[in-house]
């Protein structure tokens, strides 16, 4: 619905962009948040350098050594509601409620059925070996300045209302995400490229803060 105020700002929506392959190719599945979460929580955990990898002569308690970027986690809750779609007679919402959206989110933690069926076929032929199955690459998009490759590590759904066929029509989804770094994926892939771009973006924004700090000093806001 258009805003009653033509000059009101246009709000971007957060989203999860899902790639089945690590390189650019097929069109990704984009899961746009129906409502932006009111808050998200981010955490960082430093990577310590094992003693055997420290340079010779380096102090064992050197606080500045790191084994790479910190392990970053993100938690957020999103709400999904089919009320508007039901009022507008959306055929998918009428038949399935919000199950298509929930299924798209749930599949972020599942390997593809084609992998499972292929493994079963090879096992029957006696040529299968135990190999890990892969989940899709996901980009967490939270505005133009924050696009992070992530893996969904926790997922909890609270279904809050149902239609007459017991399809959920309103739900809250709690997501736990772990950011994928250049250490976790091969160079040149979507994940590696997106993470390095985010590192550069952080450095650019930090320089803007430096400019603000200088202005505060010169303006006398911060006493010397």
Q: Which pLDDT score is estimated for 61?
A: 57
Q: Residue 141: which H helix or E strand, with range?
A: strand 137-141
* Percent with pLDDT over 70 in the chain: 72
Q: Please say whether the beta carbons of 188 and 133 come within 8 A.
A: no
- Number of residues that this document lists for the chain: 224
Given a cut of 90, whether residue 93 has pLDDT beyond it is: yes
Q: Which pLDDT score is estimated for 29?
A: 87
Q: Does 223 reside within a domain?
A: no
187 C-beta neighbours (distance < 10 Å), count: 9
Q: Does 7 reside within a domain?
A: no
Q: Does 224 reside within a domain?
A: no
Q: Does 204 reside within a domain?
A: yes
Given a cut of 60, whether residue 162 has pLDDT beyond it is: yes
Report pLDDT digits (tens) over 105-156: 998 988 776 656 666 666 666 665 556 667 888 999 999 889 999 999 999 9
Q: Does 213 reside within a domain?
A: yes
Instruction: Please classify residue 125 by burial: count the beta carbons closer than 10 Å to its beta carbon, then call 0-12 exposed, 13-18 middle and 19+ buried.
Output: exposed
- Count: domains in the chain: 1
Q: Please say whether the beta carbons of 16 and 10 come within 8 A.
A: no
Q: Does 153 reside within a domain?
A: yes
| Global confidence as pTM | 0.77
Q: Does 10 reside within a domain?
A: no
Give the residue numbers spanning the domain of 128: 15-218
What CA–CA distance (Å, rounded) separates 179 from 188? 17
b/e 140-167 (16+ beta carbons within 10 angstroms → b): bbbeeeebbbbbbeeeeeebeeebeeeb
Q: Does 69 reside within a domain?
A: yes
* Range in 91-100, 115-124, 165-174 the model is least confident about: 115-124
Report pLDDT digits (tens) over 23-78: 555 678 899 999 999 999 999 998 887 766 666 655 555 667 788 899 999 999 99
Instruction: Please classify residue 85 by burial: count the beta carbons closer than 10 Å to its beta carbon, then call 0-12 exposed, 13-18 middle and 19+ buried.
Output: middle
Residues 6+ apart with CB under 8 A from 165: 97
Mean pLDDT taken over the chain? 82
């Amino acid at each position: 619905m258009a805003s009653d105020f033509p000059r009101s700002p246009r709000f971007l929506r957060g989203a999860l962009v899902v790639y089945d392959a690590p390189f650019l190719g097929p069109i990704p599945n984009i899961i746009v948040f129906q409502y932006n979460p009111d808050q998200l929580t981010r955490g960082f955990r430093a990577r310590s350098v094992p003693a055997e990898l420290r340079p010779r002569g380096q102090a064992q308690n050197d606080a500045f050594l790191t084994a790479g970027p910190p392990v970053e986690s993100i938690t957020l809750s999103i709400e999904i509601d089919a009320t508007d779609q039901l009022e507008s007679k959306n055929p998918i919402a009428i038949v399935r409620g919000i199950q298509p959206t929930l299924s798209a989110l749930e599949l972020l933690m599942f390997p593809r059925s084609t992998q499972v069926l292929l493994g079963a076929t090879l096992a029957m032929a006696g040529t299968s070996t135990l190999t890990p199955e892969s989940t899709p690459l996901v980009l967490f998009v939270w505005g133009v300045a924050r696009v992070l490759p992530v893996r969904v590590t926790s997922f909890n759904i609270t279904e809050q209302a149902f239609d007459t066929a017991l399809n959920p029509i309103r739900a809250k989804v709690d997501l736990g995400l772990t950011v994928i770094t250049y250490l976790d994926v091969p160079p040149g892939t979507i994940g590696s490229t997106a993470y390095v771009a985010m590192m550069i973006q952080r450095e650019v924004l930090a320089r803007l803060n430096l400019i603000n700090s200088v202005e505060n000093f010169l303006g006398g806001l911060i006493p010397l």
